[in-house]
Chain A
Amino acid sequence: MSQSAKVLIVEDESQIRRFIRAALEDEGCQVAESETLRRGLIEAGSRKPDLLILDLGLPDGDGIDLIRDLRGWSDMPVLILSARAQENDKIDALDAGADDYLTKPFSVGELRARVRALLRRRSRSGDDASPVVEFGDIHVDLSRRIVMRAGEPVHLTPLEYRLLSLLLAHPGKVLTQRTLLREVWGPSYVESSHYLRVFVGHLRQKLEHDPTQPQHLLTETGVGYRFQP
């Protein structure tokens, strides 16, 4: 865990800010708070935090606009807080550039796990991007396009491989169905979500220990998929 990572919380409810601050300070983060979107955007610009935690239900505007503004000049990780039954909002936020989301109510444990994953990715990106990804008993060498399971080579079709490598390139990040379909199948397939589901099913058959209860290629129901290392 990176020492003294700076985290900005944009949330209008003071008690929620309070426990998030407590949880993150316990992790050793420096925490800044903001009650409104407008203030949040200014703080994000002046403090340059390593992570932004953003509530989607702020009264003074649309959080998605903030993400778009932010993505104009920064690629800092953004974690969304949202109530359930707002799948569309989550998808819009993720498509606008958010990295992950938490559904209210969430436990401190979940929050810390997500924050750690996002901060880890920030510290790792850039310099030593390794072409080798390992999870469970799977070994993927992206430079040589080799996938091994417990030492045995696994045959993937070109589309399966493209889908896998896209998921592996964003560990911990939720990729929306639209994004995956557009990147793997092309823009004309963005509405054909059944392709995506069937191919994720194939990948799970080949790579997961129990395809019905996957541990690494996770479904975010109604939203998309996430690779969990």
Chain B
Amino acid sequence: MAYESQLKEGSQRWSPLQGVILTVLACAATTVLATPLLGYLDLANIVMLFLLTVLLVAVKLGRNQAVLASVLSVLLFDVFFVPPRFSLEVANIQYLVTFAVMLATGLLTAHLAAGLREKAQDAERRERRTEALYQVARQLAGALAVEQIDELARAFVTTQLNAHAALLLPDELRRDLLQTAGTPGVSIEIHLARMAYQTGETVRSEAVRSQGDASLYLPLNASMRTRGVLALRFDDPYFDINSETLSLLEAMASLIAVALERLHYETVAKSSEVKMLTERLRSSILSALSHDLRTPLTAMVGLADSLSLIKPPLPTVALDTAQALHEQAGRLAGLVGNLLDMARLNAGTVTLRKEWQPLEEVIGASIKLLGAALARHPVKVGLPPDLPLLEFDAVLIERVFCNLLENSAKFAPADTPIAISATRQGDWVAITVCDSGIGFPPGCTDALFDMFARAPQRSGTPGTGLGLAICKAIVEAHHGNIHAENRADIAGGCVTFRLPVGYPPIIEEEKP
């Protein structure tokens, strides 16, 4: 502590040797000044002069010097004032009491005055540090770059503690710590730094300190996580790192951490803004494309239909052609829809509008939407009555059911049923769509869900192989999974997708 204060208060303080010399001089001066007064003053009052000297020494020079002054005063008083003068001998034995009291008073004064002085110095030092901390906090709050934070931290440590600091920040993947550029004179023991980073505790090593390496590693703990490590190397290997220094450094570390966290979130906010703008652009391109593709298709479907309205009626051949035009345009519309959906899902521009809902509703809506396409395939829906509500985007899951039902209708012979069933499997609900068609080619059921994949024996039937890929993308966006298999009992294929159950909301019972 004494040494530490000397470092910073060198201008007001003297070295121990100077202190001793000054003390000796002060006592000698007192002796010289008091000698002419010997005839006029009582010895008791001369004792007072010496005690005053001790007090002054204690206040100005500190405890050790005051002790020295007490002893010197007693000796000088004895030699120069107490008869017989100029000898240590004492004529009157009662002077021994005087000496004892004088020494005791001197020592006590020395102790009290020096204590007071240390407290005052201590308070002053704390105030300076608080002021410095306050200043650096203000500067850190305005820091716009990591380099600035680094510079402020190093400057603070150098001026306040006469030490050298280095800032260690994690790399982008938070796998390792990297030293910031421009930290000369600090060699880092990286394993100690990692320990501090991983545990979030301050690490000290006396062993590396004697080698002149950085010996103190403070984690930069911010509210979310540890943002890095502040490493310190002290110039003086015997510098005492006391609890006050530590708490100062820890305060500094948390200020740096907060500043780093603020910078981090600023970066995040900026990049998410860029991302948002990109996504907005992408989705506006997609919806413009969607509009531009659908408009002519709408006209084609409608115009083909309106041929049947012509009076007098067109010949049957022409009406059949019109109907075929309608169907082809409708298929093209379906294809465009699938392609655009896939583009949206791949671009990541789909924001799920997840809501808790019963499964049966979206199944019913899908069956109704397909309408005529399912005319030759009765759909049997078998859902257990205790099926929980599921959280999903109804529009997207409707698309999954539509694609699966459409596939089944396309590949299963006419008038064979399609079955939809669901079962609870622990934390999942598995939903299966089964048909009685030709099933899937064995061994490549996983590949069916790749884009543009088509089963070889199905190439006679029109299709792009997008349907199942979209189903997969949608189900996976819901954190579910999907797979296909052939029925064990009879011919036919099944596609099963599973959605997580999650935590369905409670529906309050209605009071009757």
Whole-angstrom distance between the Cβ of B129 and the nearest chain A Cβ: 53
A85 with B309, Cβ < 8 A, contacts A16-B302, A108-B302, A221-B398 known:
no
Nearest-neighbor residue (CB-CB) of A211 within chain B: B360
CB distance from B76 to the nearest CB of A (A): 92
Query: Is B379 close to A, CB under 8 A?
Result: yes
Of the 9-residue stretches A121-129, A143-151, A189-197, which lies at the interface with chain B? A189-197
Whole-angstrom distance between the alpha carbons of A60 and B211 in the complex? 77
Taking CB atoms, residues of chain B closer than 8 Å to A18 are 299, 303, 306
B389→A198 contact, CB < 8 A: yes
Q: Looking at the complex, which one of B298, B300, B301, B355 makes contact with A193 (CB distance below 8 Å)?
A: B355
Query: Contact between A213 and B355 (Cβ–Cβ < 8 Å)?
Result: no
Of B355, B368, B393, B510, the residue contacting A158 (CB under 8 A) is B510
Q: How many A-B pairs with Cβ below 8 Å?
A: 134
B308 proximity list for chain A (CB < 8 A): 108
- Pick from A19, A104, A106, A157: contact of B303, CB below 8 A: A19
B404 to chain A, nearest CB (A): 16
Chain B residues with CB under 8 A of A218: 365, 368
Residue A107 interfacial (CB < 8 Å): yes
Known pairs A105-B297, A213-B381; A20 contacts B302 (CB<8 A): yes
Residue in A159, A192, A211, A212 whose Cβ sees the most chain B Cβ within 10 Å: A212
Q: Which residues of A contact B326 (CB under 8 A)?
A: 107
Of residues 348 through 382 on chain B, the ones whose CB sits less than 8 Å from some CB of chain A are 353, 355-358, 360-365, 367-369, 379, 381
Does any Cβ of A come within 8 Å of B169's Cβ? no
Q: Is the CB of B301 within 8 A of A107?
A: yes
Q: Are A157 and B512 in contact (CB under 8 A)?
A: yes
Note all chain A residues with C-beta closer than 8 A to B294: 83-84, 104-105
A209, chain B: closest CB distance, angstroms: 12
A194 touches B507 (CB 8 A): yes
Q: Which residue of A lies closest to B303 (CB)?
A: A19
A105 touches B302 (CB 8 A): yes
**Nearest chain B CB to A217's CB is how many angstroms away?**
10
Query: Are A197 and B361 interface neighbours, CB within 8 A?
Result: yes
Shortest CB distance B371–A (Å): 10
A219 is an interface residue with CB less than 8 A from chain B: yes
Whether B510 contacts A157 by the Cβ 8 Å rule is yes
Q: Are B358 and A108 within 8 A (Cβ)?
A: no
B340 CB–A CB distance under 8 Å: yes
Which of B291, B341, B364 contacts A83 (CB under 8 A)?
B291
29 A-B residue pairs with Cβ-Cβ distance under 8 Å, sorted by A, are A15-B296, A15-B302, A16-B299, A19-B299, A19-B302, A20-B302, A23-B306, A57-B291, A83-B290, A83-B294, A104-B295, A104-B297, A105-B301, A105-B330, A106-B298, A106-B301, A106-B302, A107-B302, A108-B306, A157-B510, A193-B356, A194-B389, A194-B505, A194-B507, A197-B357, A197-B389, A212-B360, A221-B369, A222-B398
Q: Please provide the 10 A-B residue pairs with the shortest distance between their CB atoms, ordered closest to farther.
A: A108-B305, A19-B302, A15-B299, A194-B356, A105-B298, A222-B395, A212-B381, A19-B306, A105-B301, A22-B306
